[in-house]
A and B are shown apart, each in its own frame.
Chain A
Amino acid sequence: MTKAAVVVFPGSNCEHDAVSGLEVAGATATLVWHTEQDLSGFDLVVLPGGFAHGDYLRPGALARISPVMDAVSAFALRGGPVVGVCNGFQVLTEAGLLPGALQKNNHLSFNCEDSMLIVANDRSSLTRGVAKGTRLSIPINHFSGSYVCDDETLQRLQDHDQVVLRYEVNPNGSLDDIAGVCNEAGNVVGLMPHPERACSNLLGSTDGLVLLRALVEASVFA
């Protein structure tokens, strides 16, 4: 069975939802405290949402120097699937594992709503085998979700098929409607929407499972 690590920073608050979503998707999932320095034995790593280290300085800025991040980088470098959700996405950009940065929403309001997403890439560890153009209803819940990067980086993202998800209706001023990106290899993915909150009909959508199942399957080939 696929073994998932869900990293917990002081201030993470979506780790239990992530564990539950990954389990529904067919993995076993374990919480890993941010001081852990060894991730061997895991098949995939998730950095969950929340406010790591209080989001002080900038979201993700202090989390990226947590001891666990060397192990996350090494895991990613070996080609292991790493997914950052919301605050986890911010951590991955601050750590330099993903290009760009997340800036405050352009309207300065906190976004907490369902968002319609369009799958833009079918080769990342989160979307492998999911047809491009697939529409998914998945909630967003963030204040700093506006994706920014320079023109050159945006061109590179487009040329190398690194935009993973786009918003159907842009909720925050994100460049190119970007909701999620991956590294060039496709194994490291960051996204602002919360797939782990869309894993049950009781909660309004099971579209998150489309992504989490792809992730659990991707880890088999990693």
Chain B
Amino acid sequence: MRFSATVSVRLRGGIADPEGATIERALSALGIDAVHNVRAGRSFLFEVEASSLEEATSIAEDLAGRLLANPVMEDHDVKVEAK
């Protein structure tokens, strides 16, 4: 079976995020004052061939933890669903 996976990666909470902070500073130029605590990150979308949702999730988790995110400075979330 084919599953679709989304892995979101962002800097860990305690680590300064200059990109997020710069985006947040730019918001006032757009007249948006209601938005706070912007954190920048990235998403990876891919498909996984597996026999169950559990297996697909475990493959995606493994990929996220070993390659897509650097656990020294980043957190990640994994979302997997049947296609």
Contacts and interface: CB of A to CB of B under 8 A. Distances in A.
B60 to A, nearest CB: 16
B72 A101 contact: yes
B67 interface: yes
A104 B18 contact: yes
Contact of B67 (A57, A104, A108): A57
A101 B16 contact: no
A108 B22 contact: yes
Interface string A72-113: 000000000000000000000110000111011111100000
Report the contact-size class of chain A (Cβ under 8 Å from the partner).
10 to 19
B11 interface: yes
B6 interface: no
B2 to A, nearest CB: 24
Nearest to A153: B72
A148 interface: yes
B59 interface: no
A173 interface: yes
B73 A103 contact: yes
A105 B68 CA distance: 20
A101 B19 contact: no
Given A57-B67, A61-B67, A105 B18 contact: yes
Contacts of A61: 67, 70
A136 B70 CA distance: 32
Interface in B21-76: 22, 67-68, 70, 72-73
B1 interface: no
B44 to A, nearest CB: 9
A58 interface: yes
Contact of B15 (A58, A103, A108): A103
Contacts of B16: 106, 173
A107 B70 contact: no
Given A58-B70, A106-B18, A150-B14, 6 more contacts: A61-B67, A61-B70, A108-B22, A149-B72, A150-B72, A173-B16
